[in-house]
Amino acid sequence: MKTPKISEAVIRRLPVYLRYLQHLRDLNITTVSSHELGQNLDMNPAQIRKDLAYFGEFGRKGIGYDVQYLIEKIKQILKLDRRLNVALVGAGNLGTALSNYNRYTNEKLKIVAIFDSFEEKIGTQVGTLEVLPIELLPKMVKELDIKMGIITVPATEAQKVADQMVDAGIKGILNFAPVILKVPLDIPVRNADVTTELESLAYYVD
Amino acid sequence: MKTPKISEAVIRRLPVYLRYLQHLRDLNITTVSSHELGQNLDMNPAQIRKDLAYFGEFGRKGIGYDVQYLIEKIKQILKLDRRLNVALVGAGNLGTALSNYNRYTNEKLKIVAIFDSFEEKIGTQVGTLEVLPIELLPKMVKELDIKMGIITVPATEAQKVADQMVDAGIKGILNFAPVILKVPLDIPVRNADVTTELESLAYYVD
DNA sequence: TAGATTGTTAATCGATTAACAATC
DNA sequence: TAGATTGTTAATCGATTAACAATC
């Protein structure tokens, strides 16, 4: 094991670094310093160096970081170098919107199945995927080796869906419903509730 | 000023408390202890008490907190007791989905205008709102006293939209585009990028 | 009164930042 | 070589948790 215990804060910054590095690569920039990264991402350069140093020595003293190399390394750390299949439950407006994100997303990380419990939704087409009945979740998780789940159902349904996901063997959940989900300790959950975000912003406004 | 300097972490927890308290109220529960809250929200009771104590003495020793009273107090703190108008820019799939959140959202916090720069979108109906050309943003911000903005445009457009929002006088931004926005220090920004969330979850999965 | 629970201080824990030797 | 920048240790800063007197 190379990793001691990395804090969640560190892990959450890695995708931000990754995104900006990919942007630099698109601009044909081959080398970048922690100072430049810090300037553009509004972060402390020491923090960036420290974050990266948890996982190895990726830079060169006096030079900086090779953009392409660092991209590859961060992808390895985040396990974005291998296929990661995602299930989405809740084929409403938000679910449909997110399923279109597939295109922008890293090609290794993909929504491969969409579920709903609402009779009328089932069988409808969302992008290239057909909405399946939630009952098929366990079967599809096994068949497609689905590792993560996105919850875009109403708050009242969210806990039930989370339970079903966990039972089916899903290992991580991105939850858009405004509830705190009860899941086993080893299943990470990210909450992405829009109302909560807006309400906390309200404090600073006016 | 009652408030010294409250950390963002505290402010971000308040909407979570609020939501659960509203849930308790719906269940006709009138009193709750920090211990019970902690159990249900997966938080430390001392933290909850401390968070609330920054703003006043809302509980009763030996008893706990009055649910209805605490709801009102938190709403006051977050300024959710007054009207807060929001503009959304980017009438794509995600923007459309979010505008429907209007219904679930606190009635005081409302999306009151939707903008896009794409010719074909302008004039189309999203819920009860007509999509307006982005050029009208400054005018509408003034007319409707809009305080916050939601950005749901592609990454390439996001900075430009943020600049336009700031120029128009918007005081807080919820950004769904995968970029770090450059805005004046006094304008709070929340990033709610789905890809970033999923990528950081990937680390913990499998 | 005895039991419960707050508000708050003190202790702990963890994360961020500064500083600098190593080195390209 | 001189200048730049990393990796890493030490210092600082801030946030969380424990503990407990006050009190309902």
Tens digit of pLDDT for each residue in A12-69?
999 999 999 999 999 999 999 999 999 999 999 999 999 999 999 999 999 999 999 9
Task: Give the integer Cα–Cα distance in Å for A42 and B68.
Answer: 40
Q: Which domains does chain B carry?
A: 8-78 (1.10.10.10), 84-198 (3.40.50.720)
Report the nucleotide nearest the CA of residue A36, measured to C1'. D5
- Average pLDDT (A117-132) is 95
Q: Express each pLDDT in B82-141 by its tens digit.
A: 999 999 999 999 999 999 876 555 689 999 999 999 999 999 999 999 999 999 999 999
> What's the confidence (pLDDT) of residue A106?
64
Mean per-residue pLDDT of chain A: 94
> What's the confidence (pLDDT) of residue B2?
41
Give the phi and the psi of residue B171 in degrees, each rounded to 5: -105, -5
- Is B9's pLDDT higher than 70? yes
Check A192 against B190: CB less than 8 A apart.
Answer: no
Q: How confident is the model at residue B206 (pLDDT cuts 50, 70, 90)?
A: confident
- Average pLDDT (B44-52) is 98
- Sort out which chain A residues have CB atoms less than 8 A from B172's CB and list them: 201-202, 204-205
**Could you tell me the CA-to-CA distances from A204 to B147, B152, B170 in Å, in that order?**
10, 21, 12
Phi and psi based region of residue A18 (left: phi greater than 0; alpha: psi -120 to 50; beta: remaining): alpha
- Is A104's pLDDT higher than 90? no
Distance CA B148 to C1' D15 in A = 28
> What's the confidence (pLDDT) of residue B204?
95
Among A99-108, A194-203, B178-187, the range scoring the smallest mean pLDDT is A99-108
**Could you tell me the CA-to-CA distances from A24 to A20, A47, A205 in Å, in that order?**
6, 20, 33
Decide which of A103 and B3 is more confident: A103
How does B171-200 read in b/e, with b if 16+ C-beta sit within 10 Å? Answer: bbbbbbbbbbbebeeebbbbbbbbbbbbbb
Task: Give the integer Cα–Cα distance in Å for B4 and B127.
Answer: 41
Distance CA B16 to C1' C10 in A = 28
> What's the confidence (pLDDT) of residue B106?
64
Nearest CA to B87 among B36, B41, B126?
B126
Distance CA B35 to C1' C6 in A = 11
**Residue B194 CB in 7 A reach of strand D:** no
- Sort out which chain B residues have CB atoms less than 8 A from A112's CB and list them: none
- Is A2's pLDDT higher than 70? no
Q: How confident is the model at residue A105 (pLDDT cuts 50, 70, 90)?
A: low
- Average pLDDT (A79-83) is 95
Taking only residues 139 to 178 of chain B, the set having a beta carbon closer than 8 angstroms to any beta carbon of chain A reads 147-148, 150, 155, 171-174, 178
Question: Strand C positions with any atom < 7 Å from protein CB?
Answer: 3-9, 14-19, 21-24
**Residue B6 CB in 7 A reach of strand D:** no
